[in-house]
Amino acid sequence: MNNLMLARIDDRLIHGQVMTAWMKVKPAKQIIVIDDKVSKDTFMIDVIQLAAPSGIKVKVLSCDDAVIELKKGLSLPTILLAKTPLTYKKVIDEGIDISAINVGGMGVNANRRTLYKNIAASDEERAIFKEFLAKNIDVKIQIIPANTAMEMSEALKK
């Protein structure tokens, strides 16, 4: 997809220091957060917009609205953010072409177990990552740009 600089999974969404680091290596002009729940929460939308670096356009969209928006194409260099791989699966299954996904923050919860260092994934999320890899989507774990990227295929073997 033209103008897609980064498609990232981070359950913190726009996290100040992390996003600032990514913006230096992926100089986007727009961030699109894709999340069904957050897209209905005006307080969280305000928080996300305030957390974004100055001068960056921010949109918070449901999965359905994101598909509509992304099918039009991206007129600005853009970073996509989602909390889970399930969000990207929904978008990809609707025909949106995402060739690479960066996995940043996926914390442990009741359904997740450690995948790699401080990244955790449920069985469903692991299956989705395997599906992405089978579709030749390049999936890497990389918290910040300065870290060495870990191939998801390697993390799933452990």
Based on the structure, what is the number of domains in the chain? Answer: 1
pLDDT of residue 51: 86
Per-residue pLDDT tens over the stretch 123-151: 999 999 999 999 999 999 999 899 999 99
Which of 119, 148, 156, 99 has the alpha carbon at shortest distance from 9? Answer: 119
User: Which CATH number fits the domain that encloses residue 17?
Assistant: 3.40.35.10
**Beta strands at 138-141 and 150-151: parallel, antiparallel or unpaired:** antiparallel
pLDDT of residue 17: 67
Q: For the residues 42-55, what does the mean pLDDT come to? A: 90
H or E segment at 59? strand 57-61
Per-residue pLDDT tens over the stretch 9-30: 999 888 776 678 898 899 999 9
Is-above-0.85 flag for pTM? yes
pLDDT of residue 19: 75
Per-residue pLDDT tens over the stretch 51-91: 888 899 999 999 999 999 999 999 999 999 999 999 999 99
- C-beta of residue 98 within 8 angstroms of C-beta of residue 128: no
Phi-psi region of 3 (alpha: psi -120 to 50; beta: other; left: phi over 0): left
Above 90 in pLDDT, residue 114?
yes
Domain that holds residue 149: 4-157
Per-residue pLDDT tens over the stretch 94-105: 999 999 999 998
- C-beta of residue 88 within 8 angstroms of C-beta of residue 113: no
